[in-house]
Structure 1
Amino acid sequence: MLLCGASVVRFANGFVDPFKEQKDFVLAAIYIGQTGSVQWHTLYQNRNERKVCYRTEEFDFNKPVDRIKFALRLYNFYFAIGGESNAKSQIAAYKCQVNSHMPKLKSFYTGRGTKRDATNSGEGNARPRMRPRGDDPTELEAHGYIVEPDRIETEDGIFESLRKLPSNLLTVFRPSDPDTMLVAKKIRKESNELEILRLIHLIQPQSEHIITLLDSFHGQSSSWVILPKIMNNVEDWLWYDLNQFSPHLSPVCWGIIKGLAYLHEHHIAHRDIKPENLLVDHKFCLKIIDFDVAVQVRDDDEEVDDHCGTEGWVAPEIEMRSPTYSPIKADRWSCGAVILYIFGRLRQTDTMLETIAKKLKADTPEQRLSLVEWPKWSQPAPVVHVGTVMKRQWSRSSDEETLVELGNDDIGRKRSRIDKPYVDSLAIAVGIHHGGTDIQ
């Protein structure tokens, strides 16, 4: 409700004539619960800011005083726009201008909330939503980035941003390009994320399914990376916009496979694959993010002894605290788990992808498919067109071999009557085109 309201506010201030200059469009979003609890959210956009902020007032309909306060609030809000006659004319004018812009708009719904906070790698606890303090904005400004505030103080009070990032992330922009929002991520001192991202950045060609490293630098307190800002992850889409996400299910799942295959091909294990770490941009291109616990290994079989990841998305060997395990093979299990989870939420089927996911999710690490083999899986099943085919056949009465000519109709009709050596020869001739694509 709040996010849709914010979209309306931004639209009105950007396109509706009476509000363009002053940005004084105000929207009341009211939520009334079944128990009588009421939340009145006032949404407005500061004249000098891009983002929409809100203020919340709470009422309890079980209390007579609160019922009177709420009624007065409605009364004041109603007459603030000039009473009934003026309100009707303003609403009519607003609808007219909205309709005139509709061909240019895809949706008012420009943002989505998160179901829950992202979790710390290796822990099941939610990251705190406290804002970064100290010298973080100063460090970023020294490297040419301005931090966008998440709260605005006005004479009417303090307005909070509708959606806040975890505490180690800040929304920033360059003064030369204030309309392009970026993310500044503060790297943990114990993490190899900066080195991993720099390594991936040097690999050519780059993968479209890995988040792009735009910039990186060392500050006084820690290191920073600058990344593109993509608002919605897979979990967001599955909770808030299934209908729009559903047609892009297959490309998104293949994006997970291709992105992880790219990492594994260069001996990088992610170790925290989960829906929250898989962003989907406006073109529905999947991007893998959060390399906080990623490691580089020598090969698929190299094992490590530290256990990390997010509960529910880690392989059985990590869940059971095996002394050592292959992080590459653990990634495969997580990849399969995420794909099956997506299909389960959408209640759709894709035989090939579901078969791949089940094999990736095998309990035994050695039985899991290698993701770098994905080009073979994605090939369509071979279609054998037989015109005149020459095959070798051995005579029953001698060791001499002869050539037998078969037409299209002969293949199916004679298959049950030919010798076993001939069957072996035919199977080799037809099956050679499969080249390992069979995943059944």
Structure 2
Amino acid sequence: MATRSYPFKQQKNFVLAAIYIGQTGSVQWHTLYQNRNEPKVRYKTEVFDFNEPIGRIKFALRLYNFYFTIEGESNANSEIATYIYQVYSHMPKLKSFYAGRGTKRDATDSGEGNARPRTRPRGDDPTELEAHGYIVEPDRIETEDGIFESLRKLPSNLLTVFRPSDPDAMLVAKKIRKESNELEILRLIHLIQPQSEHIITLLDSFHGQSSSWVILPKIMNNVADWLWYDLKPFSPHFSPVCWGLIEGLAYLHNHHIAHRDIKPENLLVDDKFCLKIIDFDVAVQVRDDDEEVDDHCGTEGWVAPEIEMRLPTYSPIKADRWSCGAVILYILGRLRQTNTTLEVIAKKLKVDTPGKRPSLVEWPKWSQPAPVVRVGVVMKRGWSQSLGQ
């Protein structure tokens, strides 16, 4: 729409934006601004359609340009991701935002049956996945306005895929490292009945010519992102998220599986704030809690002291307990929340001496039972189902 201007007695230097996102995907952007040397205040309204890829692209670019104008280049690149993430997290049906890159080109169609122009990913991975019935959703698209790359890219070993029969159901194809036991671990977990809702679901798996693949549900938000970008929506749900971590790890340990890389980035949260443990790249199966291993793995800051000190051997199950306690205390500290039961559990798990860390499987034997809480209309009791704060 055209920019309108109004006389203003005093010269200011400001810009003010108001963004309204409707439930149908229509977005109105109202901007009020005045240049320092101009006596008029200008007003502009723009409309974006989040139901169309180009509408999401233009909105993301507009948002970036707005923040760049205010803060400059040094802050724009890092801070704009926060704002885009906040908008994205409230629009779960959207697939991606894009930021412009490269030179302007004419729109093309890949012929894959989707109206959105696509740029096919490089390498043999797409062909390998297509042979097993999966189409790769590229992380960049081409439109008449240029080439656009996703602002929220997956790691290089992950690809977003879908089945031609259900193109709206986005999945994740993970390429397994040759040295990893992840495929075997996920298949083992998949066979265990009943399954845990707090472990990522293995939907499919197969061996390709270059490597093995697993197909998993695509859940974009992890605990680290929530705690870094968007505390307010996450805060009311921190208790079930923490209990989900305890229950999920207890489930693994009960079946003698150690994860060995528990950290906020490896804990997904779905749209119902149900926690899912992911990334079994370094997981191992052991005989019991006391079996020790000699390879050191994990992420700095989230590994137990015995791993950090590089002791010759250590129990991976007991190391998982320490990481569990560390994550719970981090969540509570980041949110500045108080939960006596969770604090007691976390501090007992996060002791330096591995042998003094209590078993998550035997939680009721070393701590008071969690209070009875109401979840919906069902009354549930017990540590593994208690979601109360």
TM-score, with structure 1 as normaliser: 0.62
1:337 aligned residue:
326
Secondary structure (helix, strand or coil) at the match of 1:31 reads helix
Secondary structure (helix, strand or coil) at the match of 2:322 reads helix
Alpha carbons 2:203, 2:214 under 8 Å: kept: yes
Q: Distance in 1 between matches of 2:326 and 2:198?
A: 18
1:214 aligned residue:
203
Give, in angstroms, the shift of residue 230 of structure 1.
0.5
Q: Distance in 2 between matches of 1:310 and 1:23?
A: 36
* Corresponding position: 1:160 with 2:139: no
1:124 aligned residue:
none
2:215 aligned residue:
226
Q: Which amino acid aligns with 1:276?
A: E
Stretches of structure 1 lacking an aligned partner (at least 5 in a row) = 44-48, 58-130, 383-440
| Cα shift readout 1:297-340 (whole Å, capped 9, x = no counterpart) | 00000000000000000000000000000000000000000000
Q: Distance in 1 between matches of 2:246 and 2:48?
A: 50
* Corresponding position: 1:305 with 2:300: no
Q: Which amino acid aligns with 1:228?
A: P
Pick the aligned partner of 1:192 from 181, 196, 201: 181
Give, in angstroms, the shift of residue 35 of structure 1.
6.7
Secondary structure (helix, strand or coil) at the match of 1:337 reads helix
Alpha carbons 2:98, 2:148 under 8 Å: kept: yes
Shift of the 143–55 alpha-carbon distance from structure 1 to 2, 3 Å rule, reads: same
Q: Distance in 1 between matches of 2:348 and 2:48?
A: 60
Secondary structure (helix, strand or coil) at the match of 2:362 reads helix
Give, in angstroms, the shift of residue 56 of structure 1.
6.2
How many residue pairs match? The answer is 298
Give, in angstroms, the shift of residue 204 of structure 1.
0.4
Give, in angstroms, the shift of residue 374 of structure 1.
2.8
1:55 aligned residue:
100
Shift of the 238–378 alpha-carbon distance from structure 1 to 2, 3 Å rule, reads: farther
| Cα shift readout 1:261-284 (whole Å, capped 9, x = no counterpart) | 000000000000000000111111
Q: Distance in 1 between matches of 2:350 and 2:51?
A: 56
Alpha carbons 1:189, 1:222 under 8 Å: kept: yes
**What does 1:272-351 correspond to in 2, within 5 Å?**
272-351=261-340
Alpha carbons 1:9, 1:52 under 8 Å: kept: no
Structure with more helix by fraction: 1
Secondary structure (helix, strand or coil) at the match of 1:372 reads coil
Alpha carbons 1:258, 1:374 under 8 Å: kept: no
Give, in angstroms, the shift of residue 152 of structure 1.
1.1
TM-score, with structure 2 as normaliser: 0.70
Q: Which amino acid aligns with 1:12?
A: S
1:354 aligned residue:
343
Percent identity reads 78
Query: Once structures 1 and 2 are overlaid, which stretch shifts more, 27-36 or 153-162?
Result: 27-36
Stretches of structure 2 lacking an aligned partner (at least 5 in a row) = 1-17, 28-46, 85-93, 103-119, 373-389
Q: Which amino acid aligns with 1:299?
A: D
1:401 aligned residue:
none
Alpha carbons 2:246, 2:360 under 8 Å: kept: yes
Q: Distance in 2 between matches of 1:190 and 1:204?
A: 27
Q: Distance in 1 between matches of 2:336 and 2:54?
A: 44
1:431 aligned residue:
none
* Corresponding position: 1:254 with 2:243: yes
| Cα shift readout 1:93-141 (whole Å, capped 9, x = no counterpart) | xxxxxxxxxxxxxxxxxxxxxxxxxxxxxxxxxxxxxx97421000111
Structure with more strand by fraction: 2
Q: Distance in 1 between matches of 2:232 and 2:72?
A: 32
Query: Once structures 1 and 2 are overlaid, which stretch shifts more, 149-158 or 343-352?
Result: 149-158
Q: Distance in 2 between matches of 1:348 and 1:224?
A: 40
